[in-house]
Amino acid sequence: MAKVGTLDARLARLQEQIRKAKEASSAVKRRKRAALRDNEKRRVWIVGTCAMAAMGERRMRELIARELRKEGVLRKEGDAELFADLLAASYVPTAEEIEERRGMDERANQDGAEAVPLAAE
């Protein structure tokens, strides 16, 4: 009978070790998924920042549009619509529009009055 009790205790210890190993493994997998998710967010942010900077120039916008029109660039269903929505929501004025806005601000400030804030700002 003593052997059965010893074996039961040993079995319980082994089951506890297995449970702890599985918990540790799932924690590692969770951290790995979180790191991959954070890395993807960082990459998207960097690419988005570069794209926003490039959108200020007309030539760059045309180059980007030409690349996006190529077959297979936007692979997933709905990617084109998603990208168009992102561009629409993050409109960057052209250099000409920026100069035009500055000219309007200067004319408005010539008499010393505050410039009227534009809707785009």
Q: What is the pLDDT of residues 11-64, one digit of tens each?
A: 999 999 999 999 999 999 999 999 988 888 888 787 777 777 777 777 877 777
| Residue 83 near residue 68, CB atoms below 8 Å | yes
Tokens 């997998």 found at? 29
pLDDT for the residue 121:
44
pLDDT for the residue 24:
95
Segment among 1-10, 30-39, 48-57, 105-114 with least mean pLDDT: 105-114
pLDDT, mean of residues 62-91: 66
Euclidean distance between the first and final Cα of the chain, in Å? 83
Structure letter (DSSP) for residue 48: H
Structure tokens at 10: 């040993």
Query: What's the Cα-to-Cα distance from 97 to each of 26, 38, 56, 90, 119, rounded to whole Å?
Result: 53, 36, 10, 15, 14
Rg from Cα positions in the chain: 29
Name the residue with higher pLDDT: 83 or 102.
102
In this predicted structure, the answer to whether residue 100 has a pLDDT above a threshold of 60 is yes
Nearest by Cα to 98 from 81, 121, 67: 121
In this predicted structure, the answer to whether residue 92 has a pLDDT above a threshold of 90 is no
pLDDT for the residue 26:
94
- ∠ at Cα 52 (51, 54), nearest 5°? 65
pLDDT for the residue 14:
95
In whole numbers, what is the pLDDT of the chain averaged over residues?
76
Amino acid residing at 37: R
pLDDT for the residue 120:
47
